[in-house]
Amino acid sequence: MIDTNAIEEHIRGILVALGDDPEREGLKDTPKRVANMYKEVFEGMNYSNHEIAQMFNRTFEEGLEDIEGNMIGRVVVMRDIDIFSYCEHHMALMYDMKVNVAYIPKGKVIGLSKIARVCDMAARRLQLQEKIGQDIADIISEITGTEDIAVTIEGCHSCVNARGIKKNNTKTFTAELRGEFKTDPSLQIYVR
């Protein structure tokens, strides 16, 4: 679990290391505010991918077959799911991130709100954008039982935009393609 008391203590130390006074009026409550913010934005760090899958493991099986017993709708796609995260290299904000998730059902589908919740929880960790896509695919696979999954993410990284190279309009695109999405290019149009 996230230790907010330790975070407060360390933020206070950072303020001192920056040459400021953590007791001045504008900063007096900053360590507590930052600790509470970290507890919220890093909530996903409290759970493994398996625990997140269990948390949102609500699927539907009825009414998914046509008269011949075939699955209705070959692909389920949810686009432009807003998330944010923090990179593990600089603890810098990754923002304006859009996630597209597609999967081919194998007898059951997950509720659409659960897909968005999985994306949000997987992003609330210190990690890389590539890893967020892998985590989302792992969790969706565990819930739905399918290996045919695609997760694409596009977003801005403040460690690129605000420091270092300082390229303000740069976006990063990542793709996690599994199963048929990896081998069948005609399916890849769903997550572009």
Give me the active site residues, please: 87-90, 129, 157, 159
Sign of the Cα torsion 29, 35, 36, 38 reads positive
Is there a contact between 22 and 16 (Cβ–Cβ < 8 Å)?
yes
In the chain, what is the greatest distance between 2 CA atoms, to the nearest angstrom?
Answer: 72
The whole-angstrom separation of Cα 88 and Cα 187 is 32
Is there a contact between 46 and 121 (Cβ–Cβ < 8 Å)?
no
Element containing residue 76 per DSSP (H, E): strand 76-86
Is there a contact between 150 and 188 (Cβ–Cβ < 8 Å)?
yes
Is there a contact between 178 and 146 (Cβ–Cβ < 8 Å)?
no
- Which token pair is 178? 């599994």
List Cβ neighbours of 55 (8 Å cut-off, separation of 6 or more): 47, 121
The whole-angstrom separation of Cα 136 and Cα 44 is 12
